[in-house]
Structure 1
Amino acid sequence: MASQKVLLCFALQLIFVLSVLDHHNANAQGLTVGFYKKSCPKAEAIVTKIIEQTMAVAPSLGAPLMRMHFHDCFVRGCEGSVLLNSATNQSEKFAVPNLSLRGFQIIDKIKVALEKECPGVVSCADVLALAARDSVAALNGPTWEVETGRRDGRVSNSTEALLQLPPPFLNITALKTSFLSRGLSVKDLAVLSGGHTIGTSHCTAFNNRLYNFTGKGDTDPTLDSEYIDRLKMKCKPADQTTLVEMDPGSFKTFDVKYFDLVAKRRGLFSSDSALLDDSETKAYVLSHATGSGTSSFFKDFGVSMVNMGRIGVLTGSAGEIRKVCSAVN
């Protein structure tokens, strides 16, 4: 029954995403590097300054701020809908996959500064893209040129987020379908999974791998047994509050150690382990394991983030430029 629900979710997701892409794909050409060069010359510098100040005192916000851009783009495209509030808790940020997102107050702080500098010019969707880049760079990761020119959407629905965000238990076939339906390649899937080199996760996202993988009280055979023992010490069966480092020992540093963990069968999520089940993603993992290929991964990550930032964008006269990121104008 559970597998049927997952398949139904993906069928609905695919239909919706393809319709969104069909409607918005032509608009991606409206993005350009330096979009605010004349209309708000200090825009990117303002974002960078606030992110660097934030990372200096709260580096643990780097991963959530990066993920916020991903969670925005995978639902309705990169148009800031993840930021909208709802009086009845029906917007995207209240969907279960988004309850772990943090750092909304930093996005708000950036927006206030931008509105003071250039009222009504810089979109919240662009703030998310720039903040993701600067958060990664501040944690010793790569930097890249961010295309800007997105406009903000006016609709945010928690059910859509629940159906469209790829959950951590997906197999490689479902992951590839999810990414390809958004115009992202198999390589983009492998590269963007490397973002798990920073951040933490609640036990609930992987506890089934430790205690009840097939419904018979068993463990996931694809997960290293020593790693299982270590995780069980931190996560009890019903634990919903404990946080575990996704990349133990360097979860606040953006590096290639994630790929070494996956190669050693120590990827925290089923979706991490799944990268070993496809020849292309496995090859990418192994080529970056044991700390090799840092520079190529850094370059690839920037390229894949730009690709992701083009999903379903609103440009030109579509959407709006929100005055406040948490509410439509």
Structure 2
Amino acid sequence: MPEASRTRTRRAPAPPTVAPSSTARPSTAPLPPTDPPPPAWPGAQLPVRGGAVHVRTTPWAGRPGAPRERALYVHGLGGASTNWTDLAALLAVRCEGWALDLPGFGRSSPTPGGSYSVGGHVRAVVEVLEHVRAQPGEAAGRPVHLLGNSLGGLVTLLVAARRPDLVASLTLVSPAMPVYRVPQAFGRALLLVLLPGVPSLAERRLAGVTPEQSVRGMLQMCFGDPARVPRERLDAAVEEMRERTSQAWASRALVRSMRGLITSYLRVGRANAWRLARALRVPTLVVWGDRDRLVDPRLAPRLAAAVPGARLLVLEGVGHVAMLEAPEETARAVLGMLEDAAAEAPAGTSADTAAPEERAG
């Protein structure tokens, strides 16, 4: 991967009732090389309620006697499980990984009925988490480390709030937290997907975009410095986009999931994501690029301050997908959190949380 970028953490004053966040501590653990970038991890279909999702697995690569834990990775809007290839390779020194394609994305078919609500994505993640936790092995039955980006960040936050028994820690990479001002990169036309009949028009327009055009647009929108993307990753992204354009549901999944995301912002009361963030009790890391054009980086200190005990990492020159653009810095911050959480755990206790289960949805 490209040379690691420098990091800088910014801290904003927290509201009087919320404790300030702390700076993320980078781990000094040896990490495997990622140059050349590793290929996409293998995957298979996993049954979930009413259908199946495609899940890629990253084998544990720790040293003998090292902790062997589990992690689940959830991509953002328009992304796929392959977005986590590099970060999963680095975190494999501690965690064997599972990365799913949300329904309608990557190699996952839509659920029957074609629902792309945030609640539907939450249910899919909960089912995969239950599957991962139940797998035989050293970490069987233990909560799983949960990582999400963008839409996947919002989804994983909701999962952690509603099913804390399944979650050992939470890493939020530029999560799509509710905002009430459309990012400039989106443009006003994006709000039209809320109008009846318009989503179908947007789907037809998206279907006419070539894979090369899609990848170029994604790079400009999602990366702080598109020139740093390795040629191997560009070629793989174009090939993946070609595969996606052959899927009849691809444009619909993108547009309808965007609509589901925007409508989720209208939730108030106990269902509001900001309110749920203040109730989180799992170790949490907030990661943001200061060149994020899709989700305002100024939300980073606000979210880190809202989550009790959260850590904050703001990366200079990085855009919306830090796990792709700065995988080593992101991995070291995640590992630092996991190391400290293990050191602080009372002797003789497991990683299980005692919080009661809540029904997801």
Return the TM-score normalized by structure 1. 0.32
Pick the structure with more strand per residue.
2
TM-score normalised over the length of structure 2: 0.30
